[in-house]
Structures are given as structure tokens and as C-alpha cells.
Structure 1
Amino acid sequence: MTMMMPPIIDMRLRPPIPAWTRGSVFRTAMHYPRQMISFKGARSAWLEDLDLLFEEMDSASIRYGVLIGRASSGAGTLGGVDNAEIVEAVNRYSDRFLGFLGVDLDDIDKGLGEIRDYASVENIKGISIEPGSAREPRWSDDASLDPIYEIALEYDLPVSISLSGLLSVLGGHDITWSSPVSIQRVAQKYPDLKIIVSHAAWPYAQEMVVVALACPNIYVSPDLYASTKGMICADTYVQGANMFLEDRTLFGTAYPVKDIQDSLRDFLDLGYRQDIVPKILYGNAAKLLKLDL
């Protein structure tokens, strides 16, 4: 890159380690490069080469990649990753990875138990749910999810709620399950809960930006949908950040969807105000995840 980069935090990165590659998770994450010629994918992803990924991360100043847990109980082709393996990865590569524990919405009690077991692990930084693409989809304010939000408050952990039209489709559902409107109700019910909307409810970008404007405890993490030049709705996320979400917009690549250098280059070309770029690339996530780099 031509400009000096801060130590970037990538808020959605799925590395080619056995926990991801042995099942369908990594292969499904390669949906865009497998389906569309405009998404070339990363060389490390096609080769499933972790050392090469680290080289690619270094070339783009990616200090940490955040492993967002997935426990989808067989929904569509999404697959899942055991939380024990997320913990193993963040322990083994503690200078590279941070982790969010996934909760299977078909077995919430098990997920709550694992949060209690692993919440004290140093590089575990949050909880992950995917209600709009679960085996039986539900809205984010469904009463069955309240124990997850309450344990997040108990352990002072943010909750990532992953929503996107594609994610819902890959889970076997229609895209309306990616609407962010129900997240507003969660945020207002739990005003001290920090909520990250991963994939930023794409393509409901306008609704997402307005919901985040209304709720100061919501963080918008569009990842590839605002780090891909020409992507539908990307300009809405950029406008939202430039106008009023500069402290609550987060950067991500959604690797292995794209080459990391390409993602960063596209992000920098999308029109974000230059003065807020360091916040989005690093500062906002570092504060949210309680990092001291």
C-alpha cells in the first residue's frame, strides 16, 4: 500500500485451519470466488495454506484476524466450528487471532455452558450468533435469545449478530431474515450490551444505518460489503460512517472471500473520510475488544 497503515484489526477472518477446512464452513465461505469471476479469492485460501495467509496478513498490516464462531446446527451448507477449536486456535496463534464463541441456537444451554468455560481465555473477545440463518431462523429479539444477551452482559462481552441476505440463503431461508429491525429492539432492551452486526444486514443497508443511528450500542461491521469496490449498498455504509457512525463502524475482509490486499485497497478507494480511516481499521475495534496495541 502507498500510505502508512495502522495495525489493522480484521473483524471477520476464517483461516485455513482444520477446524474450518475439514467441514463445509471454509468451502461455503468461498461462495463468491467459486461462483463469480470478479471474486478471485486469495491464493492462501485456494491452497488452504496458513503460513501464506500470515504473509498476506503482514502485507496488509493485519495485526489480528477475528474468528467469528459459527454453530449453525446443520443449517443449509453453512456447517459449524466447535468452540474448543476456536479456543485452541486463539491460544496457539495468540499473536494473530482473536475469537468469538458461537452459540448453536438449537442447543442454547450448551452454548451458555461453553461461554462460562471459555470466557476467561485471553483472546476470547465475544459471543457469536446467526439467528437469521439458523436451522430454524428467528428474529434477533426472540425471547429464546435473552439468556445469550444476559450472559454477554454478565461477562462483559460484545455479541456479534451475523446477518446478510446471502447468509440466510445459504442457511436455506429467504433474505427477509437478514433485516436488522429486530436488533433495534434488542439494543433498546439491553442498552449496556455491545452489539456488532456482522455483514451489516446486507442488503438492508439503509435500515442498518438508521437502526445504528438510533442505538448507540450497535456497531456496524459490513466486512466485504464495504471493502469491495462496486459492491451493491457499499456507498450507504460509507455515507453512514462519514456522517454519524465514525466511532461504530468496523473493518473486515470476510476472508477467504477476497484477497486481503484487494479488500484493503478497495476499502481505501470507497470514499471514507481520511480522518476516520484509522478508527475504522483499528481504533474502534481495539476499544470495543479492549485491546492495547
Structure 2
Amino acid sequence: MRLRPPIPAWTRGSVFRTAMHYPRHFFTFKGARSAWLESVDVLFEEMESAGIRYGVLMGRASSGAGNLGGVANKEIVEAVAQYPNRFLGFLGVDLDDIEQGLAEIREFAGEANIKGISIEPGSAREPRWADDPSLEPIYEIAREFDLPVSISLSGLLSALAGHDITWSRPVSIQRAAQRHPDVKFIVSHAAWPYAEEMVVVALACPNIYVSPDLYAATAGMIGADTYVKGANLFLEDRTLFGTAYPVKDIQESLSDFLQMGWRPEIVPKILWGNAAKLLKIDA
């Protein structure tokens, strides 16, 4: 559910290098071979070997928050058009220029394999909460076009943008979700390390999906067991698998994920069924 591919749109700026934060700074994260080589062909080989059909390209439209960088929505549209059997796309909205983001959603929402909208309020240049009034037009256009909204939240993401980690707390998403019951919200990175709050917020709001990606696909990860318990108890239909590539090798991520202790009968939902239904994928 979150993949930054080694294609020029990503590698020529800081987005891909920032996504490599873990493998560049911690020996416990080796990173993917395709990421170090910056080879999309090797990435596809890795996806194939792990049985991964699609990588979801989460848009990032940023006005200089830390070193996060950004990718133009036009380039996301071009990438999913070039690799329609490998990539799905979410359009990013720059929270410093929401009007431009709305215009691009209207322009590109009908393009093939565009499946949602992506915002990162806790790591914007000026951080804000998910229920900030300035974000209301984004949620309204999401309802208009029937597109889910990915809200990326993690303590590391906020820190890399130059903010404290508390901007990754998910309580404000509860308020936004309750205000917009017809909009589906995906919390990418699942508000890590506030896993317990995230699970409770999702329990309270049936339109919130939890996407912990590497934080539930890394052996020994702090907080991972909370996401697993949440899915095993009551979020089996709203938990989504992801790798946060290029952080880790995709096969290793899948292997670690399968060892986390999920109830066996819900694993197919988390790996495929929930996302396929949410993103309206026929297969």
C-alpha cells in the first residue's frame, strides 16, 4: 500500500533518498537490492518473486518540509500509465497550495489506475491536524469523486519534516472521519508509534483503514503487536498490507509480516482482499 519506485520522477529528487532513511542509517535495515541499484526492472523481479501484484504510489506534494521533497502528480499519472499492471496511484495535495491540488484532482481523477488522494498534514511545512478546517475542501472533493484519502502519519515522518513526533498522533483523524462518514480514510504508516491510539480510533470509526506497512512487516518492530491484535480482534476488514518500499526488501517484508501472529483466516484479506475492495480492483 505504499511504494516509492526507483523511477526518475522519484530518484532525481530527495523523495527516494528520504524513503531510504532506515537502510542508510541502521544496519538492521539492509534495504532492497533494486533500491540501491535504482532499477525498476529489478524491483519488478522482486515483486514477482513475492507475489506482489501492485505497488501503490502515494503522492507527495511538498513545499519544502525538511528533506521530504515531492513528486508532481502528472508524473504519478504517467508512471501508472506506463506500468498499468504494476502501479496504482494516489494524487498528492500540497497543503501550502490546496487550490492547485484540488485543480489537479479534478484534472487527473479520471485517469486509469488513479485510486485516491494523499496528504501528509503532520509533516507539512506548517504541520496541522487532520481535522484542520483548511483540509475540508480536500475531503469534500474526495467524497465528490468517491476517492479514499490516505493520511500519512508517523513519528519519523514528522521528525524528518523538522517537527516533533506528536504531530503523528491520530486523534484528529477520528474527528475528521466522524465529520465525513462517506469518505474512506487510510492512515498510512498507521500513526506509528501511537499504535494503541490508532487502533482505538479505527475501532470507533468504520470509515478508517489502518495501513501500518513496515511497522507491521518488520520482525521485532516496536508496536507491531498492537496492530496485529487490533486486526485479530476487530479490524480484520480494515487492515492493509504494505512494505513502505524501498525501506526493506519486499520478500523479507512479506516473510516478516507472515510471522507476526495474524489469525490465518484473515491474512488473505489483509494482503489483498481489503485493498482490492477499497480501491475497486478487479482480479
* TM-score after normalising by structure 1: 0.96
**Which residue matches 2:145?**
155
Equivalent position of 2:211 in the other structure: 221
Q: Which residue of 2 aligns with 1:35?
A: 25
Matched, 1:22 2:12: yes
- Cα distance in 2 for partners of 1:242, 1:160 equals 23
In 1, Cα distance between the equivalents of 2:32 and 2:129? 33
- Picking from 126, 129, 134, the partner of 1:139 is 129
Q: Distance in 1 between matches of 2:131 and 2:28?
A: 36
Partners of 1:244 and 1:73 lie apart in 2 by 38
Provide structure 1 residue ranges, at least 5 long, that are not aligned to the other structure.
Answer: 1-10
Identify the residue that residue 202 of structure 2 maps to in structure 1: 212
Q: CA deviation at 1:257?
A: 0.1
- Give the match for residue 263 of structure 1: 253
Note the C-alpha offset of 1:169: 0.3
- TM-score normalised according to structure 2 size: 1.00
Secondary structure, aligned partner of 1:254: coil
Q: How does 1:162-241 map to 2 (within 5 A)?
A: 162-241=152-231
Which one of the candidate residues 53, 63, 87 is aligned to 2:77?
87
Q: Determine the C-alpha separation between the residues in 2 that align with 1:170 and 1:69.
A: 17
Letter in 1 for 2:15: V
Residues 56-71 of structure 1 aligned to structure 2 (within 5 Å): 56-71=46-61
Instruction: Using the TM superposition, give the Cα deviation of residue 129 of structure 1 relative to its aligned residue in structure 2, in angstroms.
Output: 0.1
Instruction: Kindly provide the amino acid, as one letter, of the partner of residue 172 in structure 1.
Output: G
Residue 166 of structure 1 aligns to which amino acid in structure 2?
Answer: L
Counterparts of 1:269 and 1:218 in 2: how far apart (Å)? Answer: 25
SS of the residue aligned with 1:163? strand
User: Contact 1:180/1:207 (CA < 8 Å) preserved in 2?
Assistant: yes
Three-state SS of the structure 1 residue aligned to 2:95 is coil
User: Displacement, 1:130?
Assistant: 0.1
Listed one character per residue, the Cα deviations across residues 29-57 of structure 1 (whole Å, up to 9, x for unaligned) are: 00000000000000000000000000000
Q: How far apart, CA to CA, are the structure 2 residues paired with 1:229 and 1:272?
A: 13
> Which structure 2 segments of 5+ residues have no match?
none
- Secondary structure in structure 2 of the residue aligned to 1:76: coil
CA RMSD in angstroms comes to: 0.3
SS in 1 for 2:54: strand
> Which segments of structure 1 move beyond 4 Å, counting only runs of 4 or more?
none
Find the aligned partners of 2:3 and 2:177 in 1 and give their Cα distance.
25
What are the Cα deviations for residues 150-169 of structure 1, in whole angstroms up to 9, with x where unaligned? Answer: 00000000000000000000
Instruction: Report deviation, 1:72.
Output: 1.6
Displacement of 1:122 after TM fit? 1.5
Instruction: Give the Cα–Cα distance (whole angstroms) in 1 for the partners of residues 159 and 74 of structure 2.
Output: 27
CA distance in 1, matches of 2:280, 2:74: 22
Q: Cα offset for 1:246?
A: 0.1
| Partner residue in 2 for 1:6 | none
User: Which AA in structure 2 matches 1:214?
Assistant: A
- Does structure 2 retain, via aligned residues, the 8 Å contact 1:250–1:281? yes
CA distance in 2, matches of 1:290, 1:225: 25
Count of aligned pairs? 283
